[in-house]
């Protein structure tokens, strides 16, 4: 398979909190049929960040795991990182970036451009593209970039959005000699539009959302971004034929996943877009494509969803949690094959892009450790979860409890004193 560039993801570290709420229990507490959450939304647990975790500790814990990958010989030296971008929409300060706390915790060098980036759930992809283009431009002088997407999804209790919360972070080392995924730089499709589907005014810690409208905005943006990707793939260096069904060329397709059922809705729209654009197939009615869409969903989309089903929405990290989940189980099968990625951020900006899974991904996949991390989690009751609703992010506690002895993270939030947040290694 032809590679679009030699720039891409070299390491992929994931971190999710060690507490989770079974959605069956939330359904019982809210007098909702459990099937609505388990099947209708497709999620069975949502991660709950304890008071000693916030977007900074999630990011630093994911970052530490990414830098440590590859064993003693292969680990990434923090001194090699020349750019750190933390993408989040659950920042802890309106001015001081989460990234500068992470910079200190990970021991990155002073000569490292460090900042936070925001565009709702699209921020992680914006950061990834900026980092890849920083390397491609040559101004990075051969150094690597560290991109971390980190979020705690919070909606008001008892709102329709409540079962679509979650928390987690994904850290990616980006380099000019990647091991995991080579990006097809320059082959992405973008769709931006000013819409009020989901937002969080500065004085609030929980998001506001026009739920049903947000689904429409997501799907409209997907159609726009995918059509641009498709038209760029035809006749460019990628040389896809105009009649090709573009998704046929993708071995897997990953979507931003606020809840797993959304990936099905997205895949259906993508298949229809493919169908309409293909002169040989356009004559058939959309209803006829249902069996094919189901088969392609089972093969190309479902294998990336198992972590999102157990974690919930991780906003900026959501798409990259799907990538980690896919690679942890299927990196060897996908080696040398192109995969598609769709990122959506409310408000809105979306991007459809692709990359080729590299042969080195299989050796690193065993170090992602996502399944093991999920297995070790402790379930919390609805009452415990409700106590956590005010903690973390903007509602930081002065002195949260210390992490328990079985805490597996490398860093925790110690509390706020004199309006200054403090973090510690474990
Ligand atoms: N058994 C099985 N399924 C059931 C059921 C039952 N007893 N009862 C309902 N369902 C199904 C419904 O049919 C529906 O499925 P379909 O959409 O496939 O028909 C599903 O369960 C959800 O039911 P409702 O639509 O009635 O649920 P709701 O009104 O409570 O709200 C929601 C759903 C709008 C997604 C809400 O959870 C929400 O607002 N979430 C936050 C916003 C969000 O995630 N938007 C996604 C796009 S924006 C984005 O992606 C950015 C981001 O991260 C926020």
Task: Render pLDDT for 161-209 as a digit per residue (tens, 0 to 9).
Answer: 999 999 999 999 999 999 999 999 989 999 999 999 999 999 998 999 9
H/E element holding 425?
strand 420-425
* pLDDT value at residue 392: 45
In the block, tokens 């890849």 appear at 132
- Identify the weakest region by mean pLDDT among 230-239, 333-342, 397-406: 230-239
* pLDDT value at residue 248: 83
Residue 176: half-sphere exposure toward Cβ, Cα within 13 Å: 15
Query: Residues 259, 164: contact at Cβ < 8 Å?
Result: yes
Q: What is the mean pLDDT of residues 307-326?
A: 98
Task: Looking at the CA of residue 211, tell me the nearest atom of ligand 1.
Answer: 39
What tokens were used for 329? 């189980």
The pTM score is 0.96
Q: Which residues pair with 252 in a beta bridge?
A: 339
What tokens were used for 396? 């930081």
User: What integer best gives the mean pLDDT of the chain?
Assistant: 93
Task: Looking at the CA of residue 265, tell me the nearest atom of ligand 1.
Answer: 18
Residue to mutate (ligand 1; options 26, 31, 33, 36; most atoms within 8 A of CB): 36
Query: What size, in residues, is the chain?
Result: 426
Cβ-based neighbours of 370, under 8 Å, separated by 6 or more = 14, 16, 307, 321, 324, 325, 328
What tokens were used for 214? 């947000």
Query: Residues 393, 205: contact at Cβ < 8 Å?
Result: yes
Query: Residues 128, 122: contact at Cβ < 8 Å?
Result: no
Checking if the pLDDT of 383 tops 50, the result is yes
Give phi and psi for 148, each to the nearest 5. Answer: -130, 125
Q: Which residues pair with 125 in a beta bridge?
A: none
200 vs 28: CA distance, rounded Å: 28
SS3 355: strand
How far the first Cα of the chain sits from its last, in Å, is 44
413 vs 411: CA distance, rounded Å: 7
Give phi and psi for 382, each to the nearest 5. Answer: -60, -35
* 154 Cβ below 6 A of ligand 1: no
Pick the residue whose CA is nearest to atom 50 on ligand 1: 258
**256 annotated active-site:** yes
* 314 Cβ below 6 A of ligand 1: no
* pLDDT value at residue 101: 98
- Identify the weakest region by mean pLDDT among 112-126, 130-144, 185-199, 382-396: 382-396
Q: Which residues pair with 190 in a beta bridge?
A: 351
* 104 Cβ below 6 A of ligand 1: no
**104 annotated active-site:** no
In the block, tokens 């040559």 appear at 138
- Identify the weakest region by mean pLDDT among 149-163, 234-248, 329-343: 234-248
| Residue 242 pLDDT grade (very low, low, confident, very high; cuts 50, 70, 90) | low
Active-site pick, 121, 217, 322, 349 = 121
* pLDDT value at residue 387: 83
Checking if the pLDDT of 138 tops 70, the result is yes
In this predicted model, which residue has the larger pLDDT, 247 or 140? 140
419 vs 393: CA distance, rounded Å: 14
Pick the residue whose CA is nearest to atom 32 on ligand 1: 211
| Residue 396 pLDDT grade (very low, low, confident, very high; cuts 50, 70, 90) | low
In 164-277, where does DSSP find H-type helix?
211-233, 260-277
**94 annotated active-site:** no
* 212 Cβ below 6 A of ligand 1: yes
| Residue 277 pLDDT grade (very low, low, confident, very high; cuts 50, 70, 90) | confident
In this predicted model, which residue has the larger pLDDT, 328 or 398? 328
CA dihedral 370, 78, 145, 362 (to 10 degrees): -40
- Nearest Cα neighbor of 233 from 336, 350, 94, 338 is 338
What tokens were used for 87? 């993408």
- Identify the weakest region by mean pLDDT among 254-268, 283-297, 386-400: 386-400
Q: What is the mean pLDDT of residues 67-92?
A: 97
Cβ-based neighbours of 304, under 8 Å, separated by 6 or more = 252, 254, 263, 322, 323, 325, 326
Q: pLDDT digits over 21-45, tens only?
A: 999 999 999 999 999 999 999 999 9
Centre of ligand 1 from the C-alpha of residue 161, in Å: 8
């Amino acid at each position: 398979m032809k590679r679009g560039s030699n720039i891409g993801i070299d390491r992929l570290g994931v971190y999710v909190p060690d507490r989770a709420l079974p959605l069956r229990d939330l359904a019982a507490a809210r007098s909702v049929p459990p099937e609505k959450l388990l099947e209708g939304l497709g999620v069975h647990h949502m991660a709950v960040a304890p008071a000693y975790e916030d977007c900074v500790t999630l990011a630093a814990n994911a970052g530490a795991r990414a830098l440590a990958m590859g064993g003693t010989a292969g680990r990434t030296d923090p001194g090699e990182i020349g750019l750190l971008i933390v993408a989040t929409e659950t920042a802890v300060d309106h001015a001081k970036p989460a990234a500068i706390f992470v910079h200190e915790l990970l021991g990155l060098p002073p000569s490292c451009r460090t900042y936070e980036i925001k565009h709702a759930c699209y921020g992680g992809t914006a950061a990834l593209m900026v980092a890849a283009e920083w390397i491609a431009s040559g101004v990075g002088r051969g150094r690597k970039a560290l991109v971390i997407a980190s979020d705690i999804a919070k909606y008001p209790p008892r709102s329709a959005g409540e079962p679509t919360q979650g928390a987690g972070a994904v850290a990616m080392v980006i380099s000019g000699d990647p091991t995991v995924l080579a990006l097809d730089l320059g082959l992405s499709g973008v769709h931006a539009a000013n819409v009020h589907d989901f937002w969080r005014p500065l004085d609030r810690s929980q998001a506001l959302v026009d739920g049903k409208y947000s689904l429409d905005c997501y799907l409209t943006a997907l159609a726009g971004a995918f059509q641009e990707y498709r038209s760029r793939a035809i006749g460019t260096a990628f040389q896809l034929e105009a009649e090709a069904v573009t998704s046929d060329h993708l071995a897997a397709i990953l979507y931003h996943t606020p809840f797993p059922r959304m990936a099905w809705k997205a895949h259906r729209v993508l298949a229809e877009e493919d169908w309409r654009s293909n002169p040989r197939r356009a004559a058939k009615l959309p209803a006829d494509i249902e069996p094919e869409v189901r088969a392609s969903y089972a093969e190309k989309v479902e294998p990336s969803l198992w972590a999102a089903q157990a974690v919930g929405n991780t906003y900026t990290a959501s798409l990259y949690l799907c990538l980690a989940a896919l690679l942890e189980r299927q990196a060897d099968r996908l080696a040398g094959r192109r995969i598609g990625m769709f990122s959506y951020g409310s408000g809105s900006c979306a991007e459809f892009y692709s990359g080729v899974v590299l042969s080195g991904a299989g050796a690193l996949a065993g170090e992602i450790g996502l399944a093991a991390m999920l297995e070790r989690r402790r379930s919390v009751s609805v009452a415990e979860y409700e106590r956590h609703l005010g903690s973390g992010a903007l509602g930081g506690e002065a002195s949260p409890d210390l992490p328990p002895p079985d805490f597996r993270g490398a860093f925790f939030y110690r509390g706020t004193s004199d309006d200054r947040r403090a973090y510690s290694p474990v």
